[in-house]
């Protein structure tokens, strides 16, 4: 695994030297709040989101107020292939994904999507995010009920109509098929490896953008998987 991670770091460092490369925080901007949002009922709901490498996705949402736990994992494929080695081949149907458990009275599903579209990833990149390429890095919202589907599709239409992005939004909205937690070494990877080159280049700027753009949603102390099993 050390060899694999070193290779990923080398690729990231090479990518930032390439012409036209944009840092992860350069595209982060405040976007309109969703016009359609959930009506909180209970005290615990689940959001399932894919948007590139789950290290950064997990790291961002662990800093959102009202979030109770964020797990890195896989969604979109079969249980048999829900393993990092298989998913990395890009042909399992899986996407690197995060499962977010949250209190809707503190942060709503729509607010989570606002962070997702604005800070956590670039919804205009098709089957890639930054230096990572492949369908396993696609932008995908996995709705677990009709209300989530309605909120997600309405928000994408709202952002498209407002011309928030220069390019079309390519985020998919798919029915939830199952979530499979990733291997233990992926959980809280950003927190445990803040100096890792990939994290420094691609993910820490996203957390800084969350704090800068949405201070009311930002939690200084992240929730950790190890503390919330």
The pLDDT value recorded for residue 138 is 98
Task: Count CB-CB contacts under 10 A for residue 125.
Answer: 20
Burial of 137 (0-12, 13-18, 19+ CB in 10 A): buried
Residue predicted with more confidence, 228 or 191: 191
Are the CB atoms for 184 and 4 separated by under 8 Å?
no
Residue predicted with more confidence, 7 or 142: 142
Give me the catalytic one of 28, 47, 53, 82.
53
The answer to whether residue 228 scores a pLDDT higher than 80 is no
Q: Work out the angle between the directed axes of helices 204-213 and 54-61 (0-180°, nearest 10).
A: 30
The pLDDT value recorded for residue 227 is 78
Are the CB atoms for 119 and 60 separated by under 8 Å?
yes
Are the CB atoms for 159 and 31 separated by under 8 Å?
yes
The answer to whether residue 15 scores a pLDDT higher than 60 is no
How sure is the predictor about 28, in pLDDT bands with cuts at 50, 70 and 90?
confident
Two tokens, residue 100: 């977010």
Are the CB atoms for 55 and 186 separated by under 8 Å?
yes
Assess whether 157 carries a catalytic annotation. Answer: no
| DSSP string over 169-215 | ---EEEE---EEEPPGGGTTHHHH-TT-HHIIIIIHHHHHHHHHH-T
Structural domains in the chain, CATH included, are 2-227 (3.30.1060.10)
What average pLDDT does this structure show over 29-35?
A: 96
The pLDDT value recorded for residue 203 is 97
The pLDDT value recorded for residue 101 is 98
The answer to whether residue 78 scores a pLDDT higher than 70 is yes
In angstroms, the CA 144 to CA 29 distance is 28
The answer to whether residue 110 scores a pLDDT higher than 50 is yes
The answer to whether residue 27 scores a pLDDT higher than 80 is no
Question: What digits encode the pLDDT tens for the residues 16-26?
Answer: 433 333 444 55
Strand segments (E) across the chain = 45-51, 67-75, 95-102, 128-129, 132-133, 139-143, 172-175, 179-181
Question: What digits encode the pLDDT tens for the residues 145-202?
Answer: 999 999 999 999 999 999 999 999 999 999 999 999 999 999 999 999 999 999 999 9
DSSP state of 31: -
């Amino acid at each position: 695994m050390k060899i694999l991670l070193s290779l990923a770091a080398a690729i990231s460092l090479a990518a930032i030297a390439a012409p036209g490369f944009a840092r992860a925080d350069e595209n982060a901007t405040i976007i309109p709040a969703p016009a359609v949002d959930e009506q909180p009922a209970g005290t615990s709901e689940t959001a399932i989101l894919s948007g590139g490498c789950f290290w950064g996705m997990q790291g961002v949402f662990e800093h959102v107020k009202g979030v109770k736990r964020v797990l890195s994992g896989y969604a979109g494929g079969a249980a048999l292939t829900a393993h990092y080695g298989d998913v990395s081949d890009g042909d399992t149907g899986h996407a690197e994904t995060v499962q977010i458990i949250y209190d809707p009275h503190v942060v709503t599903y729509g607010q989570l999507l606002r962070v997702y579209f604005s800070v956590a990833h670039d919804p205009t990149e098709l089957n890639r995010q930054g230096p990572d390429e492949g369908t396993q890095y696609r932008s995908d919202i996995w709705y677990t009920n009709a209300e989530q589907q309605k909120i997600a599709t309405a928000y994408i239409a709202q952002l498209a109509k407002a011309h928030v992005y220069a390019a079309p939004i390519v985020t998919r909205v798919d029915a939830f098929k199952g979530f499979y937690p990733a291997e233990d070494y992926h959980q809280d990877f950003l927190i445990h490896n803040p100096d890792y080159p990939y994290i420094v280049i691609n993910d820490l700027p996203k957390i800084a953008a969350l704090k800068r753009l949405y201070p009311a949603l930002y939690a200084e102390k992240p929730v950790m998987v190890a503390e919330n099993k």
